Structure 1
Amino acid sequence: MTEGNKVGWDSFGVPNENFRVDRVDLAASWSSDPVRSTRMADVIRDDAGLVGRDDELARLAAFTVEATTTGAALVLTGEAGVGKTSLLDAAVARAAGTVRVISASGSEYETDIGFATLHQLVVPLVDDLALLPRAMAEALEVALGLGVGPAPSRIAVFNAALALFSAAAERQPLLLVVDDLQFVDEASRAAAGFVGRRLRGRRIGLLGARRSESSPTVQSIGVPEEHIQPLDDRGAARLLSHRFAHLPSRVRLELAREAQGNPLALVEFAGSTDLSVPWTGADNPQTDSQSKDVRTLFAARIHALPARARDLLLVAALEGRGDLRTVEAASGPGTLLALAPAERDDLVSLTADGRTIRFRHPLVRTAVVETSTGLERCNAHQRLAGALTDDIERHADHLARATTRPDEAVAALLQKAAQRSLRRGDAAGAVTRLRRSADLSPDRTALRRRLSLAAYLAAWVEGQLQTSEEILRELRLTEESTTPGGAVAKGFVALITDGDADASHALAANAVRSLPATGASADEHDRALLTLTLASQYSGRPEHWRPLMEYVDSLPEAAPHEAASLARIHFAPGSVTEGILGALEDALGRLEDETDADVVVRTALAASYLDRLSACRRPVTRVIQDGRDGGAVGSSMPALMFVALDELHSARWSESAAAAAELITLSERTGYHVFRQVGHYISAMAAAHLGDLDACAEHSDLIRRWSAPRGLRRLEYCAHQASGRALVGAGEFEDAYAHLSAICTPGELPPFNPEAVWSAPDLVEAAIRTGRADEARSHAGALHESGIHRISPRFAIMTATATAMTSPEQTAAARFEDALAVPGADDHPFESGRARLAYGEHLRRLGRIREARAQLAAARDTFHELGAATWALRATAELRATGMTRTARGAVGTALTPQELEIARMAASGLSNPQIAARLVLSPRTVSTHLYRVFPKLGITSRAALRDALESAPGQ
């Protein structure tokens, strides 16, 4: 190095305050080289301002003020070389001194490492982790490889990162700058979007840049964007005249035309022009298309460097983060001296703290790699692997890239790294590493196991069916016959996508039988048994669940989230042991701290059958948010299902319908069609309670049309349950009985048929109201004998109400009182309201009018508050039958809706319900429901009173 450059560096390689001056001297000393001298002049003039970017700089200045006072986010987009990075640097320069700036950038060689870019943003704030609650700090430490512990959910990592940035901004406004978003790993990109959308009210700015031509999968992170246009003709001319005044005007015009306003192309083309060759436009050999390709120009400059400098640039490019210590560890002493030629030629620079190497542009990094040989890249990866032994994922990645033939040691290390990725909540990284591990597996059995696990994780956790199916195709090419692990993955995908329970059951059953002989792990066996359980569940057919339960009977009790316990719970919820219930309660107590999304989902699955979903609400909501922010989409769908079911059972039916609608949309988009049917079921049940009979029928019909041809009896039962609940509420008991008896024969509650349990009170009531008293008593007895009443208060109320409805007159009242006295009954208003309605009906038949009115009025008011329209109408009609003409509180005088008024007028004119329905394009059932609502509002009890009531009602 020259003496001037030695002045610019201290003995530790850190630039001193005179570094810029030394570079000017260096540029002057190279003035004999017109290419290098103009390029160095460009750097100096860049410090004074950007040509043609006054408007952009003004907007960035305003953004910085807004961001550091009230919080804001912005991403600059544009083609490569348009000046995005220069604008980011200008914004950072203007913010310096008053704002703390933390910069990061994506690397195309680290896109497989989850949270690699977030790591760059968090590490400078590592001392501030002590300001966070311990759980938050641990989530970040584990996700970023700074500590060990259970895998955090991505939403926990995102919240922790936001909390860390907020804590730092309390002392000084914070500007987070992320360049090259198109190369940022998916987990970090999701984190940036999460943080960027939540900055309002915080003194934090997020400023990013990405190429507009990048892949559609990395387009937007959900924050405002500004597209940076190429320079116009005037701006291009100004840039060239300021920086390359020595070039003839005709040459500058030709350069401007060729570069099409791209500043990087303008500078590189002009800097590479050799004036010793006469300029003749297209005829000049220096102006052909190849020489005007910026990457080619960078490649030529790289090729001219000393071999040692080229080697160091390659190591730095493949290292990805620009960490000088890692590059030095991989390259040996003398790194800074050897990099000097590349630094002088403005291909790289060092950050002010001397710790990070920055490439002038991502195209430089790309050119460095493209100009290297395969052997050179393998050697660089090998050295980087040796320098990163403390980071198992990066160590394994580099070692794998350095390995050109199957190697079990490397393959095993990659599988271990994949497990580490899963523990950090990076399912995508785990899948990628498992696939690489399979590629390097010399043993075909190990290869298939690794591919099988990757396919399963891609489908169940990551939610990437396309990736899973691609891996399964790879697996088929390696198999002489289907391996157990491959069979499980294929069976699982067949079930959740196509609803093929037969194929899924056959594949999983064969795997369960053959896995023990292969030395399979407990996890492999559990995945096979879970797939077999799910296939049996959706099928609902004895030929599927009987062999499953014969096998499960031979297994010991397991944790609630394990497949053996889930099979037992699915088989007969009312018969689960006290051991399983106690273990579930313990698991629910720990679930708040559980970071494994698969464990959360499986535990919630057990809780859904045992009426304990409310205890899972916060953990499953985290899983959902993680999926919304680009995390484990596969896990988020069952999590959405559990939230929707919790809302349904809690009588928050509008909220339940909203969650179910999101589940339907997500399932349609991802191809998980079984989950879509579950969404339709929950939507149908919510509509049934709200009295929207048409919506209930529509969702139920969709389920039946999809499920019946596939033999998915469980889903057909779901459709019948929803239809039966809606019809019982509307008082159409004969039709309700037809639906409900299709689920099970009265008096029987078959295994693997939870809908038979949940719809039992509906079938009992429908049987009573249609003169089938014996069937009703038999079914109420079966419900009690199932033991479901000991599982939860809600199930206890349901069982006690069914028993009371079928009890002899002399004991029925006491049984109804038992139902209403169940501890926690008030927490289940619909079930309590239903018990009161049945109790009031019983008392009215006995002539105990005053007592009947008390129960019926309470039921009516409960149903009104819940929005259970048809059930409220039933209670109101029963009250009228007691001679009580006062309608629901606040109902009389309530204005009719426009549709109610139109229907009421048509009915008053003598039209029948079918005639009204035909004119308004509604169903007769909907017309009937509207009229039930109209009567209480007008204070009447019959259709005949409509005309007079409408004439006397004000405003009607």
Structure 2
Amino acid sequence: MSSGDSRGQTATDTLIGRSRDLKRIHDLLGLGAEGGALLLSGQAGVGKSAVLDAVAEAASATGARVLRATGTQFEADCSYSGLNQVVLPLQEAMDCLEDTYRDALCVALGFESGPPPQRLVVSNATLVLLQKAAADQPLLVVIDDLPWIDRPSAAVLDFVARRMTGSKVSLLAAARSESPALHESGGLQEYGLEPLDKEAADHLLTTRFPRLVGGVRQRLMTAAQGNPLALLELPTALRAAQLAALEELPAVLPLPRRLGELFGSRIASLPDGSQRLLLLAALEGTGDLGVLQAAARQTGPGEVLDDLAPAERAHLVHIDLGTRRLTFRHPLVRSAAVETSASGARHAAHRALAHALAEQPERQAWHLGEATLEPDEHVAALLEHAARLTLQRGDAVGSVRTLTRSAALTPHGPARGRRLAEAAYIGAESTGSLRSAQALLDDARQADPAVQVSLHSAAAAAVLLLNGDSDLDTAHRLLVGAIEDTPHGYDAQDAALVDALHLLLLLCFYGGRQELWHPFYAALERLRPKVPPALSAAAKTFSDPARTGAAAREELDRLLAQLPQQTDPVEIARTGTAAVYLDRLGDVREAAWRVVRQGRAGGSARRHLAGLMHLCL
């Protein structure tokens, strides 16, 4: 088993952000001076092997001799196989040892036959051999994956490490933080290699993948949590369109093979009950032990804390009984719990979670959607409602994903086309994912050809036209036609109609011609029972502010007063739009910053840009 550290990369890739660590390790080893021993610890993939390589390379460059050994699972039961790796380059020098030491080493290492030597004699022989080898030049012994070094060799090396002070021999070994080797190493000095800080992680990711879009980079950095191997491997499991933010990222990031093996092997060694609980926790997402207990009762016998104990001992999760929460030690453990499970187990876990979340309709709908394999209008309707709640919280990407799932579970007919068209509109208007929005719109038209005249379909097409060949007149004509021909009854509570009118307002403004406004105001006059506040205010301040702007002051004051409590980025952006020509954008500043921060954290790209534009103005 490797330590999960990447070997085939350049120093620029692997050692970004490690200069301080390398200097500290060099000082602690006393290389070429008094000698010393150090145990390098760190999580899987944190870069231990890369640091060992760099220390060994630096030692060689200063004239030191480097002896290396690497523990492997397949030789862990082969006595003295690890010591053989270290001593083999010194085989000729063994003739300089006194006969007792020479014979003991030769038999232990398999060079000669004879009765098994005492371990203390082998240990002393090794110490003397290394000291003799260091007489003419400093000597550095580097041991990677110490936990997989066979126990006799580990015992000898531990003996030697404790007696290096005052010689020119130094020893540097590496082990995972959760490894038993750390406890067995007793008094050896330990140096913990921490994950990269945010600046170094961003530098590494940008250096290796310079075309990553900001939101995608942030998501990968959050998942990797400074783990260099994860930073270098996670992007390789994503499609080019996902890396460029032309397609949304999945809720749980896929793991490339190396990361899957690294984290998945630790899960595979757990009892079945523990694996089942980890899968439930990974899919549940919040770590609520009460929900996990309720869901666990649906999937099998056992108590949550009992079944989670092996995973906790393996340092995969942390249980806080005070807050009744489970947290994964690393986000990639969560990904591995999902990736290593069978599809049947995932469906069963989603069903169990849906049952446990009966009092949380939005989350229940999502789990029902993942557990349902055949079209089901009831589940599809629940998902549609959940998608709208998700959008109100500012998660446009999640809303598109939920609506798309809703459409997939909708029996063939107009409802499927309508839901796909709404997903296309949100994708084009809020997330800025134009390519996937076009694909959704094409699917909507295929599902129901009549959807072409629907409000969401026309609005999506208008946004795509505007951001494609900038054919504003065609976009305006499409949108006006849908507003006038769709049987909505001019209901001011119809969200699709209000969305279409806000978009039409912008199209009229962009066009800058008086005739474009006529159908907009005709529609506003027919709205019942009254025009929504943000639309009414923007209509007065955006079309002809010199003549009608003053009439919007009271409406705008009420909208601005609601901003501190407003969480919907759409309403914040619309209030900002209404405030531009009355010079009240200063009152929108704090709310606009909230939208910008939300966008930088992976939220709606278009709302993020709208917030930036309002701040700049």
Change (3 A) 1:187 1:619: farther
CA distance in 2, matches of 1:568, 1:340: 60
Q: CA deviation at 1:573?
A: 2.4
Paired AA for residue 284 in structure 2: E
- 2:353 is the alignment partner of 1:384: yes
- 2:302 is the alignment partner of 1:339: no
- 2:394 is the alignment partner of 1:430: no
Deviations 1:912-935 (A, max 9, x none): xxxxxxxxxxxxxxxxxxxxxxxx
Q: Size of the alignment, in residue pairs? A: 411
Change (3 A) 1:359 1:554: closer
Change (3 A) 1:465 1:600: same
Q: CA deviation at 1:604?
A: 2.3
CA distance in 1, matches of 2:320, 2:582: 60
Aligned residue in 1 for 2:170: none
Change (3 A) 1:54 1:599: same
Paired AA for residue 295 in structure 2: A
Among 627, 636, 640, which residue is 2:599 paired with? 627
Aligned residue in 2 for 1:600: 572
The CA RMSD measured in Å over matched residues stands at 4.9
Paired AA for residue 620 in structure 1: A
Identity of counterpart residues, as a percentage?
32
Aligned partners of 2:417 and 2:445 also within 8 Å: no
Aligned residue in 2 for 1:535: 507
Aligned partners of 2:376 and 2:411 also within 8 Å: yes
CA distance in 2, matches of 1:52, 1:490: 67
Paired AA for residue 513 in structure 1: E
Paired AA for residue 329 in structure 1: A
Q: CA deviation at 1:372?
A: 4.6
CA distance in 1, matches of 2:308, 2:522: 73
CA distance in 1, matches of 2:471, 2:188: 61
Paired AA for residue 315 in structure 1: L
Aligned partners of 1:421 and 1:430 also within 8 Å: yes
CA distance in 1, matches of 2:185, 2:489: 68
CA distance in 1, matches of 2:568, 2:312: 49
Among 429, 445, 450, which residue is 2:419 paired with? 450
Among 462, 466, 470, which residue is 1:491 paired with? 462
Gaps of 5+ in 1: 1-32, 64-71, 80-181, 194-205, 220-261, 266-292, 646-956
Aligned residue in 2 for 1:513: 484
Q: CA deviation at 1:525?
A: 0.8
Q: CA deviation at 1:490?
A: 1.1
Q: CA deviation at 1:634?
A: 0.4
CA distance in 1, matches of 2:550, 2:310: 72
CA distance in 2, matches of 1:53, 1:393: 51
Among 503, 522, 533, which residue is 2:474 paired with? 503
- 2:238 is the alignment partner of 1:212: no
Change (3 A) 1:322 1:516: same
Aligned residue in 2 for 1:613: 585
Q: CA deviation at 1:623?
A: 3.1
Change (3 A) 1:443 1:44: same
Q: CA deviation at 1:518?
A: 8.3
CA distance in 2, matches of 1:638, 1:594: 16
TM-score, scaled relative to structure 1: 0.37
CA distance in 2, matches of 1:50, 1:543: 84
Aligned residue in 2 for 1:177: none
CA distance in 1, matches of 2:526, 2:312: 73
Aligned residue in 1 for 2:161: none
Paired AA for residue 445 in structure 1: P
Change (3 A) 1:346 1:587: closer
Aligned residue in 1 for 2:295: 330
Change (3 A) 1:310 1:607: closer
Q: Give runs of aligned pairs for residues 135-214 of structure 1, distance below 5 A.
A: 210-214=230-234
CA distance in 2, matches of 1:414, 1:506: 32
Aligned residue in 2 for 1:140: none
CA distance in 1, matches of 2:525, 2:483: 14
Q: CA deviation at 1:601?
A: 2.0
Aligned partners of 1:378 and 1:401 also within 8 Å: yes
Give the secondary-structure state (helix, strand or coil) at the position aligned to 2:534: coil
Tell which has more relative contact order, 1 or 2 (C-alpha 8 A, sep 6+).
Answer: 2
Change (3 A) 1:479 1:350: same
- 2:517 is the alignment partner of 1:548: no
CA distance in 2, matches of 1:518, 1:34: 79
Aligned partners of 1:501 and 1:535 also within 8 Å: yes
Greater C-alpha radius of gyration? 1
Q: Give runs of aligned pairs for residues 95-174 of structure 1, distance below 5 A.
A: none
Change (3 A) 1:187 1:74: closer
CA distance in 2, matches of 1:492, 1:623: 21
CA distance in 2, matches of 1:43, 1:348: 12
Aligned partners of 2:318 and 2:329 also within 8 Å: no
Paired AA for residue 558 in structure 1: V
CA distance in 1, matches of 2:218, 2:310: 30
TM-score, scaled relative to structure 2: 0.54
Change (3 A) 1:436 1:43: same
Give the secondary-structure state (helix, strand or coil) at the position aligned to 1:404: coil
CA distance in 2, matches of 1:50, 1:468: 60
Q: Give runs of aligned pairs for residues 758-769 of structure 1, distance below 5 A.
A: none
Aligned partners of 2:312 and 2:319 also within 8 Å: no
CA distance in 2, matches of 1:516, 1:50: 78
The structure richer in helix per residue is 1
Aligned partners of 1:400 and 1:410 also within 8 Å: yes
Change (3 A) 1:567 1:500: farther
Aligned partners of 2:296 and 2:352 also within 8 Å: yes
Gaps of 5+ in 2: 1-75, 79-146, 152-177, 205-211, 244-257
Paired AA for residue 406 in structure 2: S
Aligned residue in 2 for 1:46: 182
Structure 1 window deviating more from structure 2 (449-458 vs 427-436): it is 449-458
Aligned partners of 1:78 and 1:212 also within 8 Å: no
